[in-house]
Amino acid sequence: MEITWLGHSCFRLRGRNVSVLTDPYSSSCGYTLGRVSADVVTISNSHPHHNAANQVGGSPVILDGPGEYEVKGVVTTGFRTDVPKRDMRALRNTAFIFEVDDVTVCHLGDVNNLLTAEQIELSKEVNVLLVPVGGHCTIAPAQAAEVIAQIEPKVIIPMHYATESSKVDLESVDHFLREMGLTEIEAHQKITVTVSSLPVEPTVTVLQYPQ
């Protein structure tokens, strides 16, 4: 499976026979989505920065809430994450777990709190975690590190953080890397993940926005 970051919380997961796109965005977030198509599109919440499925070609199946789904051989589980009682204005968020080519990927969307015991149980087989790290409307870098410890994935890919392209008020990925004990890390255009290539120890991978 090939993983490409398209900016903000949007990733393309390309398997042998299927393409999944997460959280396509409107241009108001600063990024340009360009011409993309997919078989499956997931929407974690209703904000325009996560909910621009109308910009995706290919007549995709759109998943925007909790449940269990199977499309073109991709088994997907969506589950709600809690909204803190202190901020009832927060948008309802759905995290999604995908099984693509025997690799299990979790996209946490705009999660803004630690996971419950039930959510951790759902995520126990996750190999690759796509996790927001920019704070403000989602978990902050320190909380992201805690969520990673809850799930224990092998590959960690940060998302939803400040970049030169982003117009959203977020922290940079550097803050998260420091929380993870990393000072400098090489960014990649994309990565290919297979069951046999998964690292033994949890590994942070930073992907570049294809400008």
User: Each residue of 92-103: pLDDT tens digit?
Assistant: 899 999 999 999
Q: Which domain holds residue 66?
A: 2-207
Domain at 58, CATH number: 3.60.15.10
Question: How long, in residues, is the chain?
Answer: 211
Q: What is the pTM of this model?
A: 0.94
62 phi, psi to nearest 5 deg: -105, 125
Q: Which of 48, 19, 25, 18 is nearest to 6 (CA)?
A: 25
- Average pLDDT (164-186) is 91
Q: Which of 30-34, 105-109, 155-159, 202-206 has the lowest mean pLDDT?
A: 30-34
Rounded CA-CA distance 111/143 in Å is 10
Rounded CA-CA distance 176/161 in Å is 9
- Average pLDDT (6-14) is 96
Rounded CA-CA distance 151/124 in Å is 6
Domain count, the chain: 1
CA dihedral 33, 34, 35, 39 (to 10 degrees): -10
Inform me whether the pLDDT recorded for 86 exceeds 60: no
- Average pLDDT (3-31) is 95
SS3 203: strand
- Average pLDDT (186-211) is 92
- Average pLDDT (57-73) is 93
Would you state the pLDDT for residue 88?
Answer: 47
Inform me whether the pLDDT recorded for 89 exceeds 60: no
Q: What is the pLDDT of residues 124-161, one digit of tens each?
A: 999 999 999 998 889 999 999 999 999 999 999 999 99
Inform me whether the pLDDT recorded for 211 exceeds 70: no
Q: Which of 107, 113, 164, 114 is nearest to 137 (CA)?
A: 113
In the numeric block, the tokens 């998943």 are attached to: 63
Alpha helix positions (H), the chain:
117-122, 141-151, 173-179
Q: Are 15 and 100 in contact (CB under 8 A)?
A: yes
Structure tokens at 22: 């997460």
